[in-house]
């Protein structure tokens, strides 16, 4: 099973992540209150590089949280790409698109259907189920936004992936 399956994940599916190449905008030292602005500007800036044939997307939008998402954390938001940028790509908004990769190794995942407001409960459930299966989790949290954000909230699909320590 890979990080971008066509079918939804179950309650706590075990998988091995490959280091899929990414094009991301990195934000260091942000809080949950900063997410809306970061997401709106970041995804739009990266999408413009797709329209200009600078980068070729290879999967849905995602966000990788490094650290404690309930406190101050680092965030990479972007897309899987055929080839990551070799050099930083400046954007009109002043941010910079850089190459990155999914963390490789064992992980556990689930799928949440519904509004983005339900993701906190989805994460809590995944952490609980992972612990019940004896898995130790790390401090990286991956959200894959499978559905277009303009989809009605009830139909949104977000895959949650928790790399294991």
- CATH number of the domain at 101, please: 3.20.80.10
In a domain, 113, yes or no: yes
pLDDT band at 30 (very low <50, low <70, confident <90, very high): very high
6 lies in some domain: no
- 3-state SS class at 36: helix
- The helix or strand, by DSSP H or E, that contains position 50, with its residue range, turns out to be helix 35-51
The parent domain of residue 123 ranges over 13-163
Residue 40 has what pLDDT?
86
Residue 8's contacts (CB-CB under 8 Å, 6 or more residues apart) are 111, 113, 157, 159
Total number of domains constituting the chain: 1
Residue 18 lies in a domain: yes
> Residue 6: how many CA atoms within 13 Å on its side-chain side?
0
Number of helices (H), then strands (E), belonging to the chain: the values are 2, 9
Strands (E), the chain: 13-17, 21-30, 61-67, 73-80, 89-90, 96-101, 105-113, 140-145, 157-163
pLDDT at 144: 98
Model confidence, pTM? 0.94
For residue 93, what pLDDT is reported? 83
Alpha carbon of 104 to those of 3, 46, 48: distances in Å?
Answer: 10, 23, 28
């Amino acid at each position: 099973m890979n990080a971008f399956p066509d079918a939804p994940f179950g309650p706590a599916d075990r998988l091995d992540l490959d280091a899929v190449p990414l094009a991301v905008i990195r934000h260091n030292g942000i809080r949950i209150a900063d997410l809306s602005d970061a997401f709106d500007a970041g995804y739009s800036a990266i999408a413009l590089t797709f329209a200009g044939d600078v980068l070729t997307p290879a999967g849905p939008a995602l966000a990788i949280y490094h650290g404690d998402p309930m406190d101050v954390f680092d965030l990479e938001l972007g897309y899987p790409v055929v080839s990551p940028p070799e050099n930083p790509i400046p954007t009109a908004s002043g941010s910079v698109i850089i190459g990155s990769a999914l963390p490789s190794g064992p992980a556990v995942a689930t799928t949440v259907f519904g509004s983005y407001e339900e993701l906190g409960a989805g994460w809590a459930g995944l952490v609980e189920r992972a612990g019940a299966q004896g898995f130790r989790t790390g401090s990286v949290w991956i959200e894959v936004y499978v559905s277009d954000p303009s989809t009605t909230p009830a139909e949104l699909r977000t895959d949650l992936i928790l790399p294991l320590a």
